[in-house]
Amino acid sequence: MEKRQEKYTAKPQEGISAAENMADEFAFGNFLGLPENGDSVDVVVLQIPYELTTSYGQGTAQGPAACIEASSQVELFDPVLGEDMPAEQNIFTAPAWSGEGPNLLAQLDGISNYLSPWFIGDCFPIILGGEHGILPPIVNATRKHPLVERDLSNLTIVQIDAHADLREELDGEKYSHACAASRSLDLGIKHLFQAGIRAYSKLENERIESDERITTYFARDTQSDMEVWKKWIITLENISGPVHLTLDIDGLDGSLVPATGTPVPGGLSFWQVSETIDALFRAKHAVVISVDVNEIVPQKDTPLTQFTAAMIATKALAAHIMAKRAGLWEQTTSQQGKQRNANDEKFFISQGK
Ligand SMILES: [Mn+2]
């Protein structure tokens, strides 16, 4: 693989204009190595090194930083967008969530409070995790978004995952990563669409069959019948209203993400996840307000797992830029000047009492 990082850290050469040198500036620690290029933020990359309940593998706490490091090797040119990123967007890589909190519920509130200043509608959050238990606090933070209007019954979640994450509890913990979708439904979201699903319990299966708010495309169907896959894509194109896209990288085939907490065979190809992202972002009546890529675990010896995660996050970035240019992103100009207030809300703590 060509090392973009080395290429871009070469000293400025004589005979090259200042502008060309500027374009070659490489910012360590920033997503894609992109330097900030303005005062207002168009896209914010947020890092949640959260690991509490991963039941099988370990290392999700190191995932976000590994993904950002791997992103330095991702090509800036997106063939669908047709140009190099950042494509006139100012991309800000925010400092990671501190991880502080005396107990689980306080940590979940900490995650929500870390995120919510970026959900006032003026920029697009790309959230890197961390285990999938970050989903309920992400959903809680979307309440602040002007399109959600503090009413989560406006919000649709699209989930790529090997697991349904619809358990009521795992090992006695109801905020386990295995319960992420259940807890999001508890918060009152409008609908949950899932694909890649291939590891789930009998009870989860019953819930999928009985709950009208859940639409699941199982991997055994999409991976054996192209017509079923096409239906998934059409389903995405017909979603309306604000959407959060949650991409558990174990939705991909385990061969692409061997270091993730629970890699599972028989999953989606990279191109199917890419197609999912493109279809959702071009949906005419939907606005993807945020995306997370989670269950990233750094792989030793080869960066395949974190590089796959970085490629997916970059795909989502390019798709967002396309949607914005097509006028689908309702960047609420009325929000300009609104304060990005720090929050100290105790939603999950109050739920636990
Ligand atoms: Mn999951």
Question: For the chain, what is the mean pLDDT?
Answer: 91
Q: Kindly tell me if the per-residue pLDDT of 126 is higher than 90.
A: yes
Expressed in angstroms and rounded, the spacing between residue 187 Cα and the centre of ligand 1 is 17
Expressed in angstroms and rounded, the spacing between residue 163 Cα and the centre of ligand 1 is 6
Q: Where are the domains of the chain?
A: 41-330+347-352
Expressed in angstroms and rounded, the spacing between residue 256 Cα and the centre of ligand 1 is 16
Please list, in sequence order, all residues whose beta carbon lies within 8 angstroms of the beta carbon of residue 238, skipping any fewer than 6 positions away.
Answer: 283, 285
Expressed in angstroms and rounded, the spacing between residue 247 Cα and the centre of ligand 1 is 8
Q: Kindly tell me if the per-residue pLDDT of 336 is higher than 80.
A: no
Better-predicted residue by pLDDT, 193 or 335:
193
Better-predicted residue by pLDDT, 304 or 59:
304
> Can you give the pLDDT at residue 57?
53
Length in residues, the chain: 353
Q: Who surrounds ion ligand 1 at CB < 5 A?
A: 132, 161, 163, 165, 248
> Can you give the pLDDT at residue 105?
95
Residue 65, strand partner residues = none
Expressed in angstroms and rounded, the spacing between residue 8 Cα and the centre of ligand 1 is 36
**Listed range (59-68, 140-149, 271-280, 324-333) with the worst mean pLDDT:** 324-333
| For the chain, percent of residues with pLDDT exceeding 70 | 89
> Can you give the pLDDT at residue 338?
72
- Judged by DSSP in three states, 215 sits in strand
> Can you give the pLDDT at residue 101?
86
Tell me the pLDDT tens digit for each residue of 115-125. Answer: 999 999 999 99
Expressed in angstroms and rounded, the spacing between residue 295 Cα and the centre of ligand 1 is 7
Structure tokens belonging to residue 239: 């979603």
Q: What is the mean pLDDT of residues 272-293?
A: 97
> Can you give the pLDDT at residue 58?
74
Number of Cα atoms under 13 Å in the Cβ half of residue 339: 3
Distance of CA 198 to the CA centre of its chain: 20
Expressed in angstroms and rounded, the spacing between residue 14 Cα and the centre of ligand 1 is 50
Tell me the pLDDT tens digit for each residue of 13-66. Answer: 455 444 444 446 889 999 999 999 888 999 999 999 999 754 555 789 999 999
Q: What is the mean pLDDT of residues 299-321?
A: 97
> Can you give the pLDDT at residue 100?
84
Q: Kindly tell me if the per-residue pLDDT of 7 is higher than 70.
A: no
Q: Kindly tell me if the per-residue pLDDT of 148 is higher than 80.
A: yes
Among the four given CATH numbers 3.40.50.740, 2.170.120.12, 3.40.50.300, 3.40.800.10, the one describing domain 41-330+347-352: 3.40.800.10
- Judged by DSSP in three states, 260 sits in coil
